[in-house]
């Protein structure tokens, strides 16, 4: 069985200017993707069926199932009647640790908080990011302007999120898209890990709002600066502060707002107005 395509063309009836016409539109595919370890299901996510190797690796790293690629012994992508299974095999030590963790799970979990067995774990503070990266307002503006060009699937559909990684001197190095914002970030994490690119060297860019689990994932990646086009939640802000992540949000063509650890952002040429 073949994998579904990331987007498809469908018929629609368009209503414009009080007139109806027959039209076509490209829309993104949404598929149930099961992430399994040693044949036991850990989570099922609704995702865009693209960059699935990156998704498997990035999800495993960001959720703490593995700490390095070497702990993932095998990965098989299996197309099924009702979705896709990312069938992963863990090294013995990681498999034992995951089994102990799974014994405490009571049932399915919500978006972005997979496999959490307690409030303490769901509200965990990630390791502190201590990278010395310093960026300018011009760096942030250039990174944001590069996003639309790289969002090929969103240009087709206008309906997917993106997560990008940008380095000074290199520009936008990697970008992944998905109908789910968490999935896009996990795919990016996987792409960076598989490409041996440490996130500590640059900025993570999000086209979505910033909730706590997005900050937790960015901190798990070791990225010092997170830039998002929308505002953060209050919990995301507190988590970024505790995790040492510079949180830049409401980032648009005309500027941005820095909420945490502002020392990493050089405001060149900016005048302060009381």
**Active-site amino acid positions:** 111
Pairing between β-strand 161-167 and β-strand 255-258 as defined by DSSP bridges: unpaired
| Token pair belonging to 139 | 């760096």
**φ, ψ (nearest 5 deg) of residue 194:** -70, -25
Q: How far, CA to CA in Å, does 41 sit from each of 59, 167, 257? A: 13, 36, 40
Task: Give the closest residue to 217 by CA, choosing from 259, 173, 181, 185.
Answer: 185
Residue 229 CA to residue 209 CA, distance in Å, equals 7
Residue 200 CA to residue 77 CA, distance in Å, equals 29
Chain centre to alpha carbon of residue 111: 12
Task: Give the closest residue to 200 by CA, choosing from 223, 183, 174, 173.
Answer: 223
Residue 114 CA to residue 112 CA, distance in Å, equals 6
**φ, ψ (nearest 5 deg) of residue 263:** -65, -20
Residue 29 CA to residue 93 CA, distance in Å, equals 36
Q: Is 145 exposed, middle or buried (0-12, 13-18, 19+ CB in 10 A)?
A: exposed
């Amino acid at each position: 069985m073949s994998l579904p395509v990331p987007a498809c063309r469908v018929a629609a009836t368009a209503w414009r200017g009080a007139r109806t016409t027959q039209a076509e539109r490209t829309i993104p595919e949404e598929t149930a993707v099961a992430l399994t370890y040693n044949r036991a299901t850990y989570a099922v996510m609704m995702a865009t069926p693209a960059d699935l190797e990156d998704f498997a690796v990035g999800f495993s790293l960001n959720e703490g199932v593995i700490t390095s690629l070497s702990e993932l012994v095998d990965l098989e992508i299996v197309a099924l009647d009702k979705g896709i299974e990312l069938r992963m095999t863990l090294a013995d030590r990681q498999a034992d640790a995951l089994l102990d963790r799974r014994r405490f799970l009571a049932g399915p979990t919500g978006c972005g908080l997979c496999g959490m067995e307690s409030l303490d774990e769901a509200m965990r503070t990630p390791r502190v990011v201590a990278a010395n990266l310093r960026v300018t307002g011009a760096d942030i503006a250039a990174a944001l302007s590069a996003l639309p060009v790289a969002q090929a699937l969103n240009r087709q559909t206008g309906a997917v999120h993106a997560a990008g990684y940008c380095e000074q001197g290199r520009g936008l190095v990697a970008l992944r898209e998905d109908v789910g914002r968490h999935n896009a970030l996990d795919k990016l994490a996987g792409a960076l890990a598989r490409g041996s690119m440490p996130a500590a060297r640059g900025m993570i860019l999000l086209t979505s709002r910033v909730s706590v689990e997005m900050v937790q994932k960015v901190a798990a990646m070791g990225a010092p600066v997170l830039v998002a086009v929308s505002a953060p939640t209050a919990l995301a802000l507190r988590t970024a502060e505790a995790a040492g992540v510079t949180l830049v949000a409401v980032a648009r063509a005309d500027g941005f707002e820095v909420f945490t650890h502002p020392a990493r952002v050089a405001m060149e040429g900016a005048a302060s107005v009381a």
